[in-house]
Structures are given as C-alpha cells and as structure tokens.
Amino acid sequence: MVGKSVSLALTAFCAVALATGNPAYKVIFHLENLENGNSGEVVVNVHPEWAPLGAQRFAELVEQRFFDNTRFFRVVTGFVAQFGISGDPEVTSAWRGKTIGDDSPQHHVTNNRGRLSFYTDGKDDRSTQIVFNVKDNDFLDNKGYVPFAEVADGMFYVDRIFNGYGGSSRAPVESRMQTEGNAYLERDFPRPTYIKTVEVVKQQEPQALAMPGTAYGATSPLLIALGLFVVTGIVGGWHAFLNSGSIPDKV
C-alpha cells in the first residue's frame, strides 16, 4: 500500500509539473517619442513553445541589449510596426549574416493583432528584424512569419507608435540605417518612436512555506508534490494500522 501511495504521489507531481511548467516569460519594451511625444511601456509575453528558434534569438538579442535605442523604421497603419536595425553600425555589421532557421508553423499560433514575429523574406533568413502585428495579419502565416510572443499589456502604446513616415516609399532607407546608424535618422528622420530599453521581468522566487493570505498559485510544483507525498504516506500508514488490527490507544 505504501509503495502504491508513493507511486500516486510521484504521478501527481508529474501532472502538477506539466500543468504549471509554462516556459513563457515577460519583457517590457520602454518606448519613447510616441506620436504625441510621450513615452509608454508595452509588456510582452514570450512563448518559446510557439517558435523555439525565434524565441531563442530574441532572448539573445535582449541579453546583449541589441534593441536599446533602436527606431521603429517601418510603421504602416493597420498593418505592422517594424524594428530591429541597430543604431550602431558596428553592431549591425557584427550581426550581419547571423540568420536562423525557420520555425515550424503551428495552426493555433497565428499573426493576430498584438503578436510579434521575426521579419522574413525567404527561407531561413530571419535575423534581427521584428514586427508587431497591429491587426490580424493571417496572410503572414503563409509567408514564414511564426509568432514567438504577444502583447500582454500596453497595446494602446503600440497603436501610438509614430507612423508619419508610412511604408517603404517614405520610410528611412534600410541600407543607410545599417551603415550610418542613428546619426542618419536623427538628421533626416527625427520623429520615429524608439525603444529605450527592453527589460526582462524577474520572476518571483517560489515561497518555501505557504503564509496566511498567500495565493495557492504561488506554490511551486515541488512543494505541492511534497505535500501530496506526505498525505499519501499518512493515509498508507493508517491503512496499514487498520489491516494489522493495531489502533493507537490515544492520540
């Protein structure tokens, strides 16, 4: 019976771990120079399970602070807001040619409004450029755009990214951005919204013991499994007492 109880506890642990083992994490885009000149924060949930290669590349770029002080250079109303060319030509040069393979599309992960995908124009050519989907762009699903993240809060500010330079015909020239960096933009295109920083939201450490007023959701899977193990052990021991005819005289 005790052996069966241990087995049940371990099974319960696996179920809890799978249920709560969400690999998603949050980042905050700190935006400056929105259409009204103000600043804003956009909270984004990154989902590695959606696009493992894309999420890994994004994490690498964030870790190296690639996006700090970069401009949104192609903003099309009702379509996308695109960024991902460094303001430092040396950084751009260092990343040139560092492309990643394509992620496999998933039928339930589409380019809906608020989701982020790496820009692509061919097979295995994703690099550093990313788009915010300003509306549902289902046709991008068939063009290799596999979302790796979505806006959790602050879509209001995404809608207010400066779009005065329109699409490709009026937008900054990408080749000049790559060779001249922000100096080119500050001189000829002073109004684009830019990313001041991208901050990873630190996850709270699981509490060792549940305190009064603490939500059960904050308890770690390991602690839950440990509790289940103790309970099943007690139940198993009590069952053994009953079977042996030995019942404690007093508690």
The pLDDT tens digits of the residues spanning 45-88 come to: 999 999 999 999 999 999 999 999 999 999 999 999 999 999 99
DSSP H stretches of helix in 64-206: 89-95, 155-158, 174-180, 182-188
Residue 83 lies in a domain: yes
Residue 119 lies in a domain: yes
Residue 238: the pLDDT is 41
Give the 3-state secondary structure of residue 65: coil
- In angstroms, the CA 194 to CA 33 distance is 7
Summarised one tens digit per residue, pLDDT across range 93-145 is: 999 999 999 999 999 999 999 999 999 999 999 999 999 999 999 999 999 99
Number of domains in the chain: 2
Q: Is the model more confident about 13 or about 132?
A: 132
109/180 same-domain check = yes
Integer Cα distance of 210 and 38 in angstroms: 42
Could you report the per-residue pLDDT of 163-212, keeping only the tens digit for each?
Answer: 999 777 789 999 999 999 999 999 999 999 999 999 999 876 555 444 44
State the pTM of this model.
0.73
46 to each of 57, 179, 182, 190, 211, how far by Cα in Å?
A: 12, 30, 27, 30, 30
Residue 71, classified by CB atoms within 10 Å of its CB into exposed (0-12), middle (13-18) or buried (19+), is: buried
The candidate with the shortest Cα–Cα distance to 24, out of 45, 43, 44, 42, is 45
Same domain? For 228 and 119 the reply is: no
> Cα–Cα distance between 20 and 63 in angstroms, integer?
25
Give me the domain span that covers residue 160.
Answer: 25-200
CATH number at residue 59: 2.40.100.10
Instruction: Report the range of poorest mean pLDDT among 150-159, 171-180, 190-199, 242-251.
Output: 242-251
Residue 223 has pLDDT above 50, yes or no: no
User: What confidence tier does 4 reach under pLDDT thresholds 50, 70, 90?
Assistant: very low
Is the model more confident about 213 or about 80? 80
Asked if residue 223 and residue 111 are part of one domain, the reply reads no
Category of 29 on φ-ψ map: left (φ > 0), alpha (ψ -120 to 50) or beta: beta
In this structure, the answer to whether residues 238 and 182 fall within a common structural domain is no
- 226 shares a domain with 155: no
State residue 206's pLDDT score.
52
